[in-house]
């Protein structure tokens, strides 16, 4: 199964942009790249997903490398409420729920 | 927010006792999943269901069983709880499952289970 690699932790200052990296060198051509985040004491929530092109939504942007072996989640202006664990996962073609959640990146936002 | 309710929210039990956790959804989604999350780690899939009475194992299914007699309910049972099953358990749902890899997963708020 294709896996992802993320840094264990990152820090950011409030109102500054944050770039969260994810490596997925064994990604297959049909795997979608998904990002979820988990706020303290809550279940994970969907953030964004993409296949090949960069994507934007109200929460974040997703930049995907041309060879698709890495991607970056971009929070344009971090707020204290963005402090969470961010998971980058690959959605397999056979069953979406069997995607592997790694340990994620813990984002700390400093006021 | 997706209509997912997990019960109980917190449970303390003793080793060797049976425990059942319930996940109830109001979205009429076909796929339902049970994950466990241990401190400082990501989620690991226990079992999932792709329809009424249709279930399959995940990566950490030993010691757990599931049942789905109605679309809206997915039950996770620990037949004889052990201390290693102390964890936070999350239920998730998705509308169509594997055929739509751009599909979102929606998660419940979790059940904190402590086995003493």
- Provide the pLDDT confidence category of residue A91 given band limits of 50, 70 and 90: confident
Set of chain A residues whose Cβ sits within 8 Å of the Cβ of B108: 43
- Provide the pLDDT confidence category of residue A1 given band limits of 50, 70 and 90: low
The CA-based diameter of chain B, rounded to the nearest angstrom, is 41
Q: Which range has the top average pLDDT, A88-97, B17-26, B88-97?
A: B17-26
DSSP assignment string, B16-53:
T--EEEEEEESS--SEEEEEEE-TTS-EEEEEEEEETT
Instruction: List the beta bridge partners of residue A64.
Output: A71
**Structure confidence at residue A32 (pLDDT):** 86
Percent of chain A exceeding pLDDT 90 equals 68
pLDDT in tens, A32-52: 889 999 998 899 999 999 989
- Residue B56 CA to residue B58 CA, distance in Å, equals 7
- Provide the pLDDT confidence category of residue B1 given band limits of 50, 70 and 90: low
pLDDT at B100 over 60: no
- Provide the pLDDT confidence category of residue A74 given band limits of 50, 70 and 90: very high
**Structure confidence at residue B3 (pLDDT):** 93
CB pairs under 8 A between A and B: 73
Residue of chain B with shortest Cα separation from A30: B101
CA-to-CA separations, B41 to A104, B37, B99, in angstroms, rounded: 8, 6, 28
Residue of chain A with shortest Cα separation from B5: A43
Please answer yes or no on whether B42 and A36 come within 8 Å at the CB atom: no
Please answer yes or no on whether A95 and B48 come within 8 Å at the CB atom: yes
Q: Going by C-beta distance under 8 Å and a sequence separation of 6 or more, which residues neighbour residue A23?
A: A4, A5, A6, A69, A70
Q: Pick the residue with more confidence: A94 or B78?
A: B78
pLDDT at B91 over 50: yes
CA-to-CA separations, B75 to A49, B61, B68, B98, in angstroms, rounded: 29, 14, 6, 21
Q: How many CA atoms lie within 13 A of A56 on its CB side?
A: 1
Is the four-CA dihedral B45, A29, A18, A82 of positive or negative sign?
negative
Chain B contact residues (CB < 8 Å to A): 31, 33, 35, 40-45, 48, 50, 58-59, 90, 92, 94, 97-98, 100-110
| For range A97-109, the mean pLDDT | 84
> How many C-beta atoms surround the C-beta of residue A96 within 10 A?
27
| For range B29-48, the mean pLDDT | 90
Assigned token pair, A42: 């809550």
**Structure confidence at residue B99 (pLDDT):** 46
The β-bridge relationship of strands B111-115 and B10-13 is parallel
DSSP state letter for B99:
G
Nearest of B105, B108, B106, B98 to residue B51 by alpha carbon = B98
**Structure confidence at residue B102 (pLDDT):** 66
pLDDT at A95 over 80: no
**Structure confidence at residue B40 (pLDDT):** 79
Angle at A39 between CA A35 and CA A58, to 5 degrees: 50
């Amino acid at each position: 199964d294709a896996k992802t690699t993320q840094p264990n932790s990152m820090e950011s200052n409030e109102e500054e942009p944050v770039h969260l990296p994810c490596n997925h060198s064994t990604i297959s051509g049909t795997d979608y790249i998904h990002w979820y985040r988990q706020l303290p004491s809550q279940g994970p929530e969907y953030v964004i997903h993409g296949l090949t092109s960069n994507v934007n939504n109200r929460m974040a942007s997703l930049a995907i490398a041309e060879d698709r072996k890495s991607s970056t989640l971009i929070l344009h202006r971090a707020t204290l409420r963005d402090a969470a664990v961010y998971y980058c996962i690959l959605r397999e073609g056979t069953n979406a729920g069997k995607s592997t959640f790694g340990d994620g990146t813990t984002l700390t936002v400093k006021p | 927010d997706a209509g997912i309710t997990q019960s109980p929210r917190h449970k303390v039990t003793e080793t060797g006792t049976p425990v059942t956790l319930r996940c109830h959804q109001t979205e009429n989604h076909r796929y339902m999943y049970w994950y466990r999350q241990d401190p400082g780690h990501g989620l690991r899939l226990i079992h999932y269901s792709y329809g009424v009475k249709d279930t399959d194992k995940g990566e950490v299914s030993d010691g757990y069983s599931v049942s789905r007699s109605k679309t809206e309910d997915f039950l996770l049972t620990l037949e004889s709880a052990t201390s290693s099953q102390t964890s936070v358990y999350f239920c998730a749902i998705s509308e169509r499952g594997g055929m739509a890899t751009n599909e979102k997963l929606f998660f419940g708020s979790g059940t904190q289970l402590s086995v003493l």
